[in-house]
Structure formats: C-alpha cells, structure tokens
C-alpha cells in the first residue's frame, strides 16, 4: 500500500509539473506571437531567430518528456490500483473464511460442552447405579446371613 501512495504522490507531482510546463510553453508562445506581430507591424523582416527556434524545440522536448513520464506513471498507477483491488478482494475473502472458521469453532465448542454435560450425566448415573448395586449387595449379604440355619450335629 505504501508503494501505491508513493506512486500516487509522484503521479500528482508529475501532473502539476506538466501543467506548469504547458503554462510556460503557452506564455512563451504568446510572447513570441506578440513579438512577431510587433515586428510585422513595424515593417521589419520577421526572420526567425535561431535562439527562438531552439527555445521552442527545447520546450517541445521537455513537454514531450513530461507527457511520456505522465503516461508511464498512469500505467504504473493503473497496475498498482489493480494490485490493490486484488489485495482488497483477497483480504475480504480471507476475512470471510476467518468469520466462517470462528462460527464453526463456536459450534464445536458448544458441541464439546454438550458432550461434557452428557458425560457428567452418564457418570452420575453410573455412580448411582453402582451405589444401588452396592446397597443391594449389602442387603443380600444381611438377608443371607440372617437366614442361615445352625448346623446339626448328630
């Protein structure tokens, strides 16, 4: 994301620089047209000066270079935006998976709690059955010892 913001700020700076260069070029062209018009009005020969032609050529090259850089940055910016969008979609998918996993985890925790409760109930039933069996065993022992007959000796 940091790369995206860096690229975005560089693109903005390039747009501003391009706009400034274009404004300078327009100002220069306006001044040039004014000088040509003044020279024509004065009746002087309006032969183009080599310095003026070179300045125009330099400004045109600078403008072309800035436009090319702006186009390059636009392409890079589009690629970065596409990458960012893909990353956001992936993050959203992962968040959905995480939410589903949390729901499944909660369901499993509730199921485990139910199993523990069932186990405790079964253990309590087993203890109660053991206690009844033990009580019955001692009752049987008491009743069998009370019914015993003394042995006869002849």
Tens-place pLDDT, residues 58-68: 888 888 888 88
pTM tops 0.95, yes or no: no
User: Tens of pLDDT along 37-52?
Assistant: 676 655 555 555 677 7
User: Taking each helix axis from N to C terminus, what angle separates 50-146 and 2-41, rounded to the nearest 10 degrees?
Assistant: 160
**CA 5, CA 11: separation in Å to the nearest integer?**
10
Which residues are CB-contacts of 59 (< 8 A; sequence separation ≥ 6)?
21, 24, 25, 28
End-to-end CA distance of the chain: 111
Greater pLDDT, 33 or 112: 112
What whole-number distance in Å separates Cα of residue 32 and Cα of residue 43? 16
- Percent of the chain whose pLDDT exceeds 70: 80
């Amino acid at each position: 994301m940091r790369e995206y913001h860096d690229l975005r700020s560089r693109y903005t700076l390039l747009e501003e620089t391009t706009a400034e260069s274009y404004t300078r070029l327009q100002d220069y062209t306006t001044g040039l047209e004014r000088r040509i018009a003044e020279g024509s009005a004065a009746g002087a020969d309006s032969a183009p000066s080599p310095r003026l032609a070179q300045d125009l050529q330099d400004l045109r090259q600078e403008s072309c270079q800035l436009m090319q850089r702006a186009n390059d940055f636009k392409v890079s910016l589009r690629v970065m935006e596409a990458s960012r969008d893909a990353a956001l979609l992936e993050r959203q998918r992962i968040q959905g998976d995480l939410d589903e996993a949390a729901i499944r985890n909660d369901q499993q925790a509730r199921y485990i709690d139910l199993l523990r409760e069932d186990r405790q109930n079964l253990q309590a039933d087993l203890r109660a059955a053991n206690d009844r069996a033990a009580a019955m065993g001692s009752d049987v022992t008491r009743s069998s010892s009370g019914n015993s007959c003394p042995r006869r000796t002849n």
